[in-house]
Every structure is written in C-alpha cells, then in structure tokens.
Amino acid sequence: FSKSGIPLYSSLLWDEGLGTIFGMATDGCGNAYFVSGTEGTPPMITSDALFTSNQGKADVFIMKLAPTCDRITYATCFGGPNAEVGSSIAVDAEGNIFFAGTSSSNVGAHYRYPLVHAFQDSIKGDVDIFLTKLTADGHSIVFSTWIGGSEWDTPQGGLSIDDDGNVYLAGI
C-alpha cells in the first residue's frame, strides 16, 4: 500500500510446505524480504542460494522479492539437522540480511545450525535463539550465533538495525 492507502501490488508466491510468513522487511530500494519455516525444499529456491535444499526436519526459509513483487531475487533454506523456524527479519542500509528464530540443531561441530563468528557456540537449553547475518547477495554468512540460556528461548518478532549497524533483538 502507498502512504495514502492505495494498493501498489500484491502477489501469491507461497507454497504448501512453507507455512506462515513470520517476518517481513523492506530495503531502501523497495525489495521485500520474508522469513518463515519449511519442512521441505520449496520449489522457488534460487540456483545461487547458500543452501539449495532443506538441511533437516524443518528449516528457515528466506526470500527476497524485486520491488514490483514480480520476481524472486533470492530464496534459500537455512538450518541444521533438527528444527528451525525464522521469526524475524531486518535489512541494514547496505542490504545485508539479518534474521532470527529458534533452533534445536546442536548435534556436534560439523552437523548443526551453521555458526560463523559465534558469540555463543552451543545451545544452552533444549531450544535457543539464533541470529544470523547474510551478505546483501545472500551468498555468505557474515556471522551466525546462538543466544540463550537453560530455558526454552524464543525471539518475539523484535529485530531491528540502527543507522550504525547495531542489531537489536527482543523477546528472549
């Protein structure tokens, strides 16, 4: 919708296995970003995706749409061997993609949720929060970490990036 309430466009690009879209963000160029979870490999995964297939029981699904919502620019699954669900997404001024959610994939150093430059390198409870930053093209992980304690930890939709690139995550 425009700022005056006029519909600009709408599109149905979803697939049966994707479930609910839990988060959406836009960038300064008008691209739209979505995060959800998937139990399979969605048919709209792009050939240049970081992961081109589901990595476990359920994965995070990230999708970037062109400003007119008529073309998928980028789509990937992201996860480990157990269950992940993405709940929040944000984009910084450079177009880097941040997303957060919950995961239970901590089954050893080589078979778990992908971690890079992790602040916390293992799950502390049954389910912890993950926070991941991808490059603007979605091809590389800048950082990816666990956040949590001994309880079941979940973000509640509050993810934002300030003008200095600092990340704020709420709902732990």
Q: Which residues contact 16 (CB under 8 A, 6 or more apart)?
A: none
The number of residues making up the chain comes to 172
- 13-67 pLDDT, tens digit per residue, is 655 555 677 888 999 999 999 998 877 777 788 888 888 777 777 788 899 999 8
pLDDT of the residue at 22: 81
Model-level pTM?
A: 0.87
Distance CA 62, CA 136 (A): 12
- Decide which of 137 and 37 is more confident: 137
Give the mean pLDDT of the chain: 83
